[in-house]
A = this chain, B = another copy of it.
Amino acid sequence: MTSSTDISKAGEPLVLSIDAMGGDRGPAAVVAGLAAFAKRNKNVRFLVHGPKAELDTLVAKHRHLGSRVETRDAEGVVSMHDKPSHVMRNGQNTSMWSALDAVRNKEAAVTVSCGNTGALMLLAMVRLRKLPGVNRPAIAVLWPSRNPQGFNVMLDVGADIRADAQDLLKYALMGTSYARNGLSLERPRVGLLNVGTEEHKGHAELKQAHELIAAHAEENNFEFVGFAEGGDLSGDRCDVIVTDGFTGNIALKTGEGTASLIGQFMREAFAYSPLSRVAALLALTSLKRLQARIDPRRKNGGVFLGLNGTVVKSHGAADATGIAAAAELAYDLAKSGFGDRLAARIAQAAEASESTAEERSDPAKEQQKDGTNP
């Protein structure tokens, strides 16, 4: 099934597989976003999945896209309300399925979709399969922070509402791999989200995860700062924050909601009186500079980690600017060979665990070292 767009050939453009359907603004916004990104980057091609006739019309509107897009016909659309299990059983004809299969078949390096998150994750697990050694894949986001790199990595933000100590260790490995490739940090600092930084606080599972992650920090070249709090998500104590998908999802949406409320308050403050409207005009450059730093579209995209292949989940409400940002993120990850590096990291950690286990004669000791309860 390997086509002429095989991603392994050096010098050739990278290929991204794009699910054009399922976002709130429809395929026109998706194609416009790809057109914007394609103008900035000449070394990228797209496989775009959806109803072919409709897509071809949209693509034809952007002259520079024509030669760089191949449309793939898929009549079915996964809606935001479809149950993931239903899509898994009946979704063979959907644009989402087709977009994932292009990565499965090595025709493209990364899939981008703004569709239903739950369905996308379940389909990705079925079509791409989990990496050996990963029990629960995770969704990672970049979170604006006080760190020099401008962002921290948080995961899981909602792939699975549960995570045990072993899962949280894998999240630490995957998150640091993402921080190395996505944020160019050599030795990322990892924090484990909890209600306080003292070691006696929090659930028993978190204390287990604390021991387990600490024990694997050195050999995996990251620094473990221990427990982190909600405020550290936007702070500079850590670069990667690890938590279960329940807590992570609520933190993500709480942060987005807070930023959006402050944005509204700001608009109201500057629209309050004729004088304040004049002031807003004069402050326009500063306000735009601020807007650019907190614009959630600028780093649009949760990345699915722990699968044989990378998937970027764009926000469902993304406009062309948001889609372009998601495509850029997908491109950057593909270019750095992130998927292969992550897989190697997980494989190495699994091997290290196994060989450590083999070296030891007393399994009880091994369990103690790993911080797991007998």
Point out residues on A near B: beta carbons under 8 Å: 83, 144-146, 158, 161, 193, 195, 200-203, 229-235, 243, 245-247, 249-262, 264-266, 269-270, 272, 275-276, 278-280, 282-287, 289-290, 293-294
Q: Please list the 8 inter-chain residue pairs (A to B) with the smallest Cβ-Cβ separation, ordered nearest first.
A: A230-B253, A231-B257, A230-B254, A279-B283, A269-B290, A234-B261, A276-B286, A195-B249
Considering the complex, give the chain B residue whose CB is closest to the CB of A288.
Answer: B269
**Docked CA distance A161–B243 (Å):** 15
Considering the complex, give the chain B residue whose CB is closest to the CB of A246.
Answer: B195
Contacts of A262 in B (CB 8 A): 259, 262, 294
Contacts of A247 in B (CB 8 A): 246-247, 250
Considering the complex, give the chain B residue whose CB is closest to the CB of A249.
Answer: B195
| A254 pairs with B251, CB closer than 8 A | yes
Most chain B C-beta atoms within 10 Å of own C-beta, residue among A195, A200, A254: A254
| B255 pairs with A202, CB closer than 8 A | no
16 more A-B residue pairs beyond the given contacts A251-B251, A266-B290, A279-B285, with a C-beta to C-beta distance below 8 A: A83-B200, A158-B195, A195-B245, A230-B251, A230-B253, A230-B256, A231-B253, A233-B257, A254-B258, A258-B258, A265-B293, A265-B294, A269-B287, A269-B289, A272-B289, A279-B283
| A161 pairs with B203, CB closer than 8 A | yes
**Docked CA distance A325–B282 (Å):** 34
Contact of A282 among B200, B202, B279, B290 (CB under 8 A): B279
**Docked CA distance A262–B290 (Å):** 8
| B278 pairs with A282, CB closer than 8 A | yes
Q: How far is the CB of A230 from chain B (nearest CB, A)?
A: 3
| B290 pairs with A265, CB closer than 8 A | yes
| A270 pairs with B283, CB closer than 8 A | yes
Counting every copy of the chain, the complex holds 2
**Docked CA distance A366–B334 (Å):** 57
Q: How far is the CB of A305 from chain B (nearest CB, A)?
A: 18
**Docked CA distance A366–B161 (Å):** 30
**Docked CA distance A265–B298 (Å):** 15
**Docked CA distance A109–B1 (Å):** 76
| A231 pairs with B256, CB closer than 8 A | yes
| A260 pairs with B234, CB closer than 8 A | yes
Q: How far is the CB of A286 from chain B (nearest CB, A)?
A: 4
Contacts of A253 in B (CB 8 A): 229-231
**Docked CA distance A105–B275 (Å):** 55
Contacts of A276 in B (CB 8 A): 283, 285-286, 289
Contacts of A269 in B (CB 8 A): 286-287, 289-290, 293
Considering the complex, give the chain B residue whose CB is closest to the CB of A232.
Answer: B257
**Docked CA distance A279–B234 (Å):** 27
| B146 pairs with A264, CB closer than 8 A | yes
A250 in contact with B193 given A265-B293, A293-B269 (CB within 8 Å): yes
**Docked CA distance A293–B158 (Å):** 31
A252 in contact with B230 given A195-B158, A195-B245 (CB within 8 Å): yes
Contacts of A261 in B (CB 8 A): 144-146, 234
Contacts of A254 in B (CB 8 A): 230-231, 233-234, 251, 254-255, 258
Considering the complex, give the chain B residue whose CB is closest to the CB of A292.
Answer: B269
Considering the complex, give the chain B residue whose CB is closest to the CB of A282.
Answer: B279
Contacts of A203 in B (CB 8 A): 161, 246
